[in-house]
A and B are shown apart, each in its own frame.
Chain A
Amino acid sequence: DVKVTQSSRYLVKRTGEKVFLECVQDMDHENMFWYRQDPGLGLRLIYFSYDVKMKEKGDIPEGYSVSREKKERFSLILESASTNQTSMYLCASLGGNEKLFFGSGTQLSVL
């Protein structure tokens, strides 16, 4: 089975901190994605990557950056966390037939 692993299930950070959210997939997928999920807004795409060192902005990239140094790992970076970045963050990788495989999510609270 495809496995997408997000390093933390819950994170609590302070405003202004630099935050790293890590995601690893074990199926050699080329495309990986970061979404955030908020009540009433569904999932919104932050960034995606279609190859090592390649990235593209999604719909809400402001305040975020990403890193893809290795194919299996896609990191989301909050350069200076703010309270409006409190959210559930979901990582996904793309398998065959356009099927997305998701991690369990990281619930980030910024105080």
Chain B
Amino acid sequence: AQKVTQAQTEISVVEKEDVTLDCVYETRDTTYYLFWYKQPPSGELVFLIRRNSFDEQNEISGRYSWNFQKSTSSFNFTITASQVVDSAVYFCAPVRVHGSSNTGKLIFGQGTTLQVKP
């Protein structure tokens, strides 16, 4: 079974601060993907990143970066120089790679609500 823990329910920062969103997952699968999704106030979840379980290289995309540590089962997300438009709910989610019946069955964490104040 898979389980995702996003321990931070709400985070509030002031614009231009850096902020890290934590994600810890539990899985018995050896091969899986990890995702981050953003849900702005409009409601539609937006894909941010997908990582393979066997690729532990950190990734940077503009102001976003992700730190994947398989040994600690963590997949943390950092926003550098946060902006008001970053205000949203952020979800971490793993999914099994193999097995057609599991394809796309993401197990979402509870989400972290990020508020960036001007």
Contacts and interface: CB of A to CB of B under 8 A. Distances in A.
Interface of A: 31, 33, 35, 40-45, 48, 50, 56, 58, 88, 90, 92, 94, 97-105
Size category of the B interface is: 20 to 34
Contacts of B47: 99-101
B75 interface: no
A94 B104 contact: yes
Interface stretch (B38-46, B54-62, B65-73, B78-86): B38-46
Contact of B103 (A44, A92, A98, A105): A98
- Chain A residues touching B, majority SS: strand
B50 interface: yes
B74 interface: no
Interface of B: 4, 6, 9, 33, 35, 37, 42-47, 50, 91, 95, 97, 100-101, 103-111
A50 B45 contact: no
A51 B97 CA distance: 19
Given A42-B109, A45-B105, A100-B106, A105 B100 contact: no
B108 A42 contact: yes
Contacts of A58: 105
B44 A97 contact: no
Given A98-B103, A104-B43, 9 more contacts: A42-B4, A43-B91, A43-B108, A50-B103, A56-B101, A100-B37, A100-B45, A100-B104, A102-B37
